[in-house]
Amino acid sequence: MPTLLSAKEPAGLTACVTGGSRGLGLLIADQFAARGCAVTLAARDREELEQARSKLLRRHPRAVVDIVVCDVRDQDEVRSLMRGTYERRGGLDVVIANAGIIQVAPVESIGAEEFQSAMDTMFKGTLHAALEALPYLRKSPHGGRLGIISSVGGLLGVPHLLPYACAKAAAGVLAEGLHAEAAADGVSVTAVYPGLMRTGSHLHAQFGGDRTAEYSWFSALAGAPVVSMNAQRAAARITRAVLRRRVRLVLTPMARAADLAHGVAPGLTTRVSSLAARALPSGTGRREPLAEGKDTAPTAHPVAARVRAWGSAMNDKVTHSYNQRHG
């Protein structure tokens, strides 16, 4: 996990990362730990949090790493998280709102419940983190910093990822609006729009419809060279952007191209998305509970299996180190 430091970035701050037990959140926490920051990891699973702390302390033996079990959907729990971090460490300087879920399915195979679940975690959870952190960030002698992790999916509607895209779009708008309002109090808010990253998230993404086919295309694309980004490099750039008070960060060349194209020619990009949707798996005609990638049966089609194995190879390699797979 390479960590790039800069004299322009303050060190020794107190940081809190929601969704910090695995994947991108864990890698961002690693960046803060390397800078001498006291880091609080928040997530729902205590076992994952313990494992995440152990990984950070092995890399940074002198790091200060706290863990807090917290469901960001519950504002009272988030309020306790932020207050506890502030009181325990004597301040709160940086908060990264990163907690999220990924649901992959055609819209005919899901319902309003899946959209509500995505909004509860990625919009309301982000909102709770922002509202409860801001009073403490305003008190930071270094100037508070809030990073909100949206996605390229929040910049345009992505087929078979609609609940995710809707929630991430709302989080992005929240970030940009908060930046305008919080600036007068000395707090910067950075909106982050990553493209595909090799975080190993395909194991915990939830799949519906033809689950095997949906898992195959998503895991292959999320890990494919050129299309996806090294997650360590992404975490380093996100951390620098938040510490340097960037207003907006769009990661990966493809994500920046999609952002530009949608801004210049939204009708064209929507038609291109329609063509892409036709290449994705068809629905099954029925609604069933979503299943995580780690619980999804692999494809039996030899060509599809080879494509998935090739595309996902680099993503599969990082699942243990990024705390996505245990044992």
Percent of the chain topping pLDDT 70: 96
**Residue 5: predicted pLDDT:** 44
CB neighbours of residue 73 within 10 Å: 17
Domain extent for 152 = 14-317
Instruction: Look at residue 322 and tell me if it is in a domain.
Output: no
- Please identify every residue annotated as catalytic: 164
What pLDDT digit, counting tens, does each position of 50-81 carry?
999 999 999 999 999 999 999 999 999 999 99
The residue-averaged pLDDT of 231-259 equals: 94
For 109, the token pair is: 């195979």
Task: Say if 77 falls within a structural domain.
Answer: yes
Q: Is residue 123 part of a domain?
A: yes
Beta pairing, strands 206-207 & 291-292:
antiparallel
Percentage of the chain exceeding pLDDT 90: 76
Length of the chain as a residue count: 327
Residue 6 lies in a domain: no
Q: Count of CB atoms within 10 A of residue 38's CB?
A: 22
The confidence score (pLDDT) of residue 100 equals: 96
pLDDT, tens digit, for every residue of 261-310?
989 999 999 999 999 999 999 988 888 899 999 998 888 777 777 767 77
Is the CA virtual torsion 109, 111, 114, 115 positive or negative?
positive
Domains identified in the chain, total number: 1
Q: Once rounded to an integer, what is the mean pLDDT over residues 130-136?
A: 98
Confidence of residue 241 (pLDDT cuts 50, 70, 90): very high
Rounded to the nearest integer, the mean pLDDT of the chain is: 92
| pLDDT of 93 above 80 | yes
CATH number for the domain spanning 150: value is 3.40.50.720
